[in-house]
Amino acid sequence: MLSYTSINNKYPAEQVAFAERVKKYNITELGKTPKACVITYGCQQNVSDSQRLKGMLILMGYEICEEENKADFIIFNTCAVRGHAEDRVWGNVGATKSLKKVNPKLIVAVCGCMVQQQSVADRFRESYPYVDIVFGTQVFHRLPEFIYKRITGGKRVYELSLENREIVEDIPIDRENRFKGYIPIMYGCDNFCSYCIVPYVRGRERSRDANEIVCEAKRMVDEGYKEIMLLGQNVNSYGKGNDDGINFAKLIRMINDIEGDFRIRFMTSHPKDLTEELIFAIRDCQKVERHLHLPFQSGNDRVLKVMNRRYSREKYLSLIELAKKEIPDISFTSDIIVGFPGETYEEFKDTLSLVEKVEYSSLFTFIYSPREGTPAATMPDPISRAEKGKWFDELLRTQDKISKRLNKEAVGKTVRVLFEEESPEEGYIIGKSSGTYNIYVSADKSLIGSFAEVKITEYKNVLYGTLI
Ligand code: 5AD
Ligand code: SF4
């Protein structure tokens, strides 16, 4: 599993010392190489955090495994964005109770956005006595300390402080993939969209130092990485609060200047912070993919206002126009919420018309889920779940037609792809274009992890192409 770990001198020495002690303790106490299982819910930020959890576990001498019933340490890295993800966590954490009966030395930890809510942390404390360690989003670099304290007989660990504005660099990492990797560039969110829990559980926006980011990107390119995904809750407000004057547009120009054949992706962008300067930077930087994930959430101005999104439908469409004009081969994706409290069917139709107007290559669609503590959770919400489900299906059907049309129009084009994985269909590998086409190509799997020019030849549920 281990593809890459790195440790430089900025990861706190005391955590390295705790890691050493955990390693020694486990060897003496367990008499074998201990195994650790990391279970991740939610967004790319969480996936990226989990790669660091794995890196720290490897530093502590654990072997990473996929099966919970073989593990000596299990950690759940949770998501709080919607209720559904939380329900799965309660069930899966509950199941560790019986695993502990078989393996009494098993340590169970829960971290991430969900536990950062007081009511959730309280429920773990009171009703889940077999959960040993609970910690929040801003202290996860202290995992070695938490494990050490618990295995050496300490109390159950609860560490949920959100005051930590400092960014800890050089946490060991297991990137898991040898050619695609994430680089978080900023943490937290200051936007307080009225439906969203993220600002409460990930704290205020903090941007990493541009030099740290560029160094990490350089190191990855040197190691052969072909795709770097820059991550943040709102990447285009990158740099706010730093005093070097480097904003997101400047940052991607700096990364684009790194020598080597690789591509740069980023998410998520907030329309209110998408500037002309950034659109021009994407246009000019040939390593930046010709794609924007630009969530609009709702196509109706009244709903956008109550959502506290701070842009109008017209402003959003003008940004799309500008991006299409400056970057002719650009493609778009978006997040959409259906059934926000008080949304009417007429208002929802504005979302449908916006989807038709922009022509997204694909969408991430969600039925509104009330999140305790957010303003929207107290707003009247008269539309039934069943009715919202119908609207949701209508949105999916609308998008399906658009995706099919765009895919048909792609036949005949030549695109550069990065081969990413084997396809479920025997003999094919899947290449991803700089936009969002997934192209099935009959080629040897040794090409996975490299770029190639592909001609798109056919659309039959998926796109097929041939190597040029
Ligand atoms: N209900 C439904 N969807 C939500 N999102 C965020 N909060 C909620 C919620 N309470 C969606 C938004 C966001 C994406 C990551 O999740 O569309 O862009
Ligand atoms: Fe949530 Fe809005 Fe911040 Fe995105 S920008 S994380 S939707 S509050």
pLDDT digits (tens, 9 = 90+) for 68-86: 999 999 999 999 999 998 9
8 — pLDDT class (breaks 50, 70, 90): low
Average pLDDT over residues 430-443: 94
Question: What is the percent of the chain with per-residue pLDDT over 70, rounded to a whole number?
Answer: 98
Would you say residue 4 has pLDDT above 50? no
The single-letter DSSP state of residue 377 is: G
Contact 371 CB / ligand 1 (< 6 Å): yes
Quote the pLDDT of residue 164. Answer: 66
Ligand 1 pocket, residue 368 CB under 6 Å? yes
Alpha-carbon gap, residue 357 to 360, rounded angstroms: 9
Best residue for ligand 1 mutational test, from 337, 367, 371 (most atoms within 8 Å of Cβ): 337
How confident is the model at residue 3, as a pLDDT? Answer: 41
Site to probe by mutation for ligand 1, drawn from 45, 79, 81 as the one with most ligand atoms within 8 Å of Cβ, is 81
Do 177-289 and 291-410 fold alike per CATH?
A: yes
Question: What is the CA(235)–ligand 2 centre distance, in A?
Answer: 11
Q: What is the pLDDT of residues 341-358, one digit of tens each?
A: 999 999 999 999 999 999
Q: What is the mean pLDDT of residues 265-283?
A: 97
CB-ligand 1 contact for 300 (6 Å cutoff): no
- Which residue would you say has higher pLDDT here, 165 or 438? 438
Q: How far is the CA of 43 from the centre of ligand 2 (A)?
A: 12
**pLDDT for res 360:** 97
- The confidence score (pLDDT) of residue 225 equals 97
Name the average pLDDT for the chain.
95
CATH no. for 177-289: 3.30.750.210
Q: Report the pLDDT value the prediction gives residue 166, as an integer from 0 to 100.
A: 84
Average pLDDT score over residue span 395-412:
97
Is it the case that residue 240 has pLDDT exceeding 70?
Answer: yes
* Tokens standing for residue 2: 């281990």
Stated pTM of the model: 0.95
CA gap 437, 208 in Å, rounded: 31
The answer, yes or no, to whether residue 102 has pLDDT greater than 70, is yes
- Ligand 1 neighbourhood includes 194 CB (under 6 angstroms): no
Q: Which CATH class is domain 414-467?
A: mainly beta
Residue identifier of the C-alpha nearest atom 12 of ligand 1? 335
CATH 3.90.420.10 is right for the domain spanning 291-410: no
- Check whether 419 has a pLDDT greater than 60: yes
The domain limits of the chain are 7-159, 177-289, 291-410, 414-467
| Cα separation values, 156 from 94, 130, 138, 348, Å | 17, 9, 19, 47
CA atoms within 13 A on the CB side of 365: 21
Q: What is the pLDDT of residue 162?
A: 82
- CA 291 – CA 297 distance, rounded (Å): 18
Kindly report which listed range (109-113, 164-168, 252-256, 387-391) carries the lowest average pLDDT score: 164-168
Using CB atoms within 10 Å of the CB of residue 26, give its burial: 0 to 12 exposed, 13 to 18 middle, 19+ buried.
buried
Compute the distance from residue 83 Cα to the ligand 1 centre, in Å.
Answer: 10
Which ligand is located closest to the Cα atom of residue 43? Answer: 1
Q: Is the CB of 82 under 6 A from ligand 1?
A: yes
Of 158, 168, 232, 229, the residue nearest 198 (C-alpha): 232
Q: Are 131 and 99 in contact (CB under 8 A)?
A: no
> What tens digit of pLDDT does each residue of 116-172 get?
999 999 999 999 999 999 999 999 999 999 999 999 988 999 999 887 678 999 999
State yes or no: pLDDT of 7 exceeds 60. Answer: no
| pLDDT tens digits, one per residue of 176-210 | 999 999 999 999 999 999 999 999 999 999 999 99
Nearest to 261 by CA among 447, 419, 451, 446: 451
Choose between 364 and 154: higher pLDDT: 364
CATH numeric code, 7-159 = 3.40.50.280
